[in-house]
Amino acid sequence: MSTQNFSYTFKTSKFPEGVFNILINPKKWWIGLHNEIITGNSEKLNDEFTFSAGNGAHNSLQKLVEIIPNQKITWEVVDSNLTFLKIPNEWTGTKITFEISKEQNQTKVTFTHNGLTPQFECFEGCSNAWTEYLENLEKALK
């Protein structure tokens, strides 16, 4: 389906509260691959943080627009400059969401980058990078 947003799902034996406390702070999971620098706050409604990676090739500003403790986190990308793209602000207006739910004796984590679709120039490269970050997160939560 050509309008499919990028999504990644995994399960962990950790409790939803512990998972939520890690996810709400990108400095705990959106790091370690491409010389990332994260500044600002990300834990209260309307908090904003900047993400820079690839020695400045990727810069974006995220704003926390939805928070349901232990269940859901949504950041809106309010500004972006991905210098390696023809349209460097391609991420602007997209939303990065984590949904957390209990499934039997496990916690299910679903990540979706709403708006990151195959029509985006960045789709393949960004999807690959997201997959790397989320695989690392999944391993850390085992």
* 6-140: CATH number: 3.30.530.20
Transcribe 19-72 into DSSP letters: HHHHHT-GGGTS-SSS--EEEE--SSTT-EEEEEETTTTEEEEEEEEEEETTTE
Record the pTM.
Answer: 0.95
Q: Where are the domains of the chain?
A: 6-140
pLDDT band, very low/low/confident/very high, at 3 (cuts 50, 70, 90): low
pLDDT in tens, 56-94: 999 999 999 999 999 999 999 999 999 999 999 999 999
From residue 86, alpha-carbon distances to 72, 74, 91, 121, 122 in Å are 32, 27, 12, 8, 10
